[in-house]
Amino acid sequence: MARPVFIVDGSRTPFLKARSGPGPFTPVDLAVQCGRPLLARQPFSPTSFDQVILGCVNVIADEMNPARVAALRLGMGEDMVAFTVQINCGSGMQSIDTAYRYIREGHADMVLAGGTEALSHAPLVWPNSGVRWFAGLATAKGVAAKLAAAFKLRPRYLKPIIGLERGLTDPITDLNMGQTAEVVGHLFGITRAQSDAYAAESHRRLTHAQAEGFLKGEVETAFSRDGKFFDHDDGVRPDSTAETLAKLRPVFERPWGQVTAGNSSQITDGASWVILASDAAVAKHKLTPKAVIVDSHWAALDPSIMGLGPVMSATPLLQRNDLTVKDVETWELNEAFATQVLGCLAAWNDDKFCRDILGLDGAAGEIDRDKLNVDGGAISLGHPVGTSGNRIVLHLVNAMKRLGTRRGVATECIGGGLGGAMLIEVV
């Protein structure tokens, strides 16, 4: 018999915009910065967990299996099982889903599930031609051979490739993520003006949430080794308007594209954790759950339209639970691109798409924008790839508690042509 799985608590770091060079924190640093205060306020020892699961895409060389490194730095004990998961943008949600299934089936009682990403630490890599030259130089025998190998050097061999740029390009379609958003926007007639207006609203909502203290208790202050502290998401632009955003040039499809730096998610560093527990763990430690995970669903689709992943994953999730989009009171849909989010909303409200692709009797319906990303999203606060899926679940729970709503869905598109969705109810 499947057991209920509760979300007990959670926290995250501020999301810090990547600017010039590596930021102050590595992926594990970030996980530890928000993990320490989270564990410190619990009525149980950090060693009480059964395992740690952490999503991370850009794993750096000094932190192989960052879940294990973070667990040890958090004082969770040498016998703590900890592993890292990677499913691109869905990594942070996958950590929750994996923990959910372990607990539901009785294989664990309490799991720390998170996501972390330091995109500012993405590596520069050599082109293959440069790698072959270095290999030839290293294996050459004798002075003459080494000199001959050295003279084969060409300047282009030393031109580094930005690893992040390749990582955000789909290897099957050879489209970068921004281009896939352009495709989705074209399919549903999303205009540049609509995308810019959506982006400006994301900044307005996050600015309001910060000013009103809505993120208090969710965002933990991070302290760098040089004594600086970071206490808020620093990518928000309170002065953003649709008019100012309209002045920006398209980035991916010039000159007529819809996607710009202003209506896209920001490249950021950040980490997030949630604590998941069984009813037995709740009783044992006298915990007060915030929410219960009802169900989850993953879907796959054409990588060129990966932005429709939320539609393809959330729709069957709702069907399986005899719900419609109208039954969901609060939505968190990761804002990879404004055009992509608007494309998803248009798809759900498109009769032909819903009949032909989703197998519905007609349009699923229109999602009330007042119920969607109520405190802004990745456009205003950033998208640390391995973290975002975890953050949207954490914030969904906190937002529902504040708003007094009961049922919510966290969903996201995933590079490579995937989508993930999770149905949450407040308890």
Residues known to be catalytic: 89, 383, 413
Position of tokens 């040089």?
226
Q: Contact at 8 Å (CB) between 202 and 376? A: yes
Give strand pairing partners of 292.
Answer: 6, 425
Position of tokens 């906190």?
398
Collapsing DSSP states into helix, strand and coil, what is residue 189?
A: coil
Distance CA 226, CA 61 (A): 23
Residue 189 token pair: 């007639």
Residue 18 token pair: 């990547």
In 165-324, DSSP assigns E strands to: 222-223, 229-230, 268-278, 291-300
Give the side-chain half-sphere CA count within 13 A for 395.
32
Position of tokens 């921004």?
178
Distance CA 262, CA 196 (A): 7
Distance CA 51, CA 38 (A): 16
262: DSSP letter: T
β-strand pairing of 81-85 with 51-55: parallel
Three-point CA angle 350, 356, 359, nearest 5°? 95
Distance CA 259, CA 180 (A): 10
